[in-house]
């Protein structure tokens, strides 16, 4: 799913750049080479440079498509909202550069913990939004457990000190006639409940 979406985005950018190349190039490059460069650059604009996950702009565009496809094919879709626990304390104690290292590490952990068909985006700050297509609640729970375990197991070394992080996750499943904002709100409420109940855990809505 992710690869198909990336391919469509890159193809659209390629075709647009091809037209520009025909008008602007003076022979130093072929129009195909120029178009490929522009297509790659366009795709990079959808990536968060720190975590290397997709960015919020990509999420906002793709989530509606994912919902449409899930309903068209009558397939389940589960949405996870992940938030690092006590991340402000890391920034306050060690500085934002260390905080950035932790977020970069988080991005790598998330990528390694989900399928290639899943879509993970940096939603804001230390929040990660994850779309799990064709995924029932039981399978989503396994993903959430794996994410929590892999994050808690990661050790960061800073100035001779070892830092470990935990995260909380809330998730919700797409229901019939549910609006996008309802899906996000439900996951947010479940995340709040996970924080309230002690953090380093996941909760599902409902």
- Helices and strands of the chain, counted as H and E runs: 7, 7
Q: What is the CATH number of domain 56-204?
A: 3.30.70.270
- SS3 at position 155: strand
- Cβ distance 83 to 127 under 8 Å? yes
What mean pLDDT is predicted for residues 144-173?
A: 93
Nearest to 37 by CA among 12, 58, 13: 13
What mean pLDDT is predicted for residues 166-176?
A: 96
* Entry pTM: 0.80
Phi then psi for residue 79, to 5 deg, are -120, 125
C-alpha torsion 131→136→139→145, nearest 10: 60
- Cβ distance 95 to 73 under 8 Å? no
Q: Name the residue with higher pLDDT: 97 or 33.
A: 97
Kindly tell me if the per-residue pLDDT of 65 is higher than 60.
Answer: yes
Residues whose CB falls within 8 Å of the CB of residue 198, separated by 6 or more in sequence, listed in order: none
- SS3 at position 29: coil
In whole angstroms, what is the distance from residue 135 CA to residue 62 CA?
A: 17
pLDDT at residue 1 in the model: 63
Kindly tell me if the per-residue pLDDT of 53 is higher than 80.
Answer: yes
pLDDT at residue 43 in the model: 61
Domain boundaries, the chain: 2-44, 56-204
Kindly tell me if the per-residue pLDDT of 183 is higher than 80.
Answer: yes
pLDDT at residue 12 in the model: 76
What mean pLDDT is predicted for residues 118-130?
A: 96
- Cβ distance 104 to 51 under 8 Å? yes
User: pLDDT digits over 6-41, tens only?
Assistant: 777 777 777 777 666 665 555 556 666 656 665 566
What mean pLDDT is predicted for residues 146-160?
A: 91
Residue that the structure tokens 């109940």 belong to: 197
Catalytic residue among 16, 37, 126, 127: 126
In whole angstroms, what is the distance from residue 158 CA to residue 139 CA?
A: 35
pLDDT at residue 206 in the model: 82
Query: Per the structure block, which two tokens stand in for 191?
Result: 């995340």
Confidence of residue 160 (pLDDT cuts 50, 70, 90): confident
- Cβ distance 118 to 130 under 8 Å? yes
pLDDT at residue 173 in the model: 97
User: pLDDT digits over 134-147, tens only?
Assistant: 999 999 999 999 99
Task: Based on the residue annotation, tell me whether 175 is a catalytic residue of this protein.
Answer: no
């Amino acid at each position: 799913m992710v690869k198909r979406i990336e391919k469509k985005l890159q193809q659209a950018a390629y075709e647009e750049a091809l037209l520009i190349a025909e008008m602007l190039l003076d022979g130093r490059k072929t129009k195909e080479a120029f178009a490929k460069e522009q297509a790659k650059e366009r795709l990079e604009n959808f990536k968060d440079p720190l975590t290397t996950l997709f960015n919020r702009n990509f999420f906002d565009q793709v989530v509606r498509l994912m919902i449409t496809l899930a309903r068209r094919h009558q397939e389940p879709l589960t949405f996870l909202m992940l938030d690092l626990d006590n991340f402000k304390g890391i920034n306050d104690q060690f500085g934002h550069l260390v905080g950035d290292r932790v977020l970069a590490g988080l991005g790598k952990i998330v990528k390694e913990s989900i399928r290639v068909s899943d879509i993970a985006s940096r939603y804001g700050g230390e929040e990660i939004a994850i779309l799990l297509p064709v995924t029932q609640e039981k399978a989503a729970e396994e993903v959430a457990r794996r994410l929590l375990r892999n994050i808690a197991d990661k050790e960061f070394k800073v100035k001779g000190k070892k830092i470990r992080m935990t995260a909380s996750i809330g998730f919700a499943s797409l229901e019939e006639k549910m609006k996008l904002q309802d899906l996000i709100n439900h996951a947010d409420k479940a995340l709040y409940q996970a924080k309230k109940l002690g953090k380093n855990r996941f909760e599902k809505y409902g």
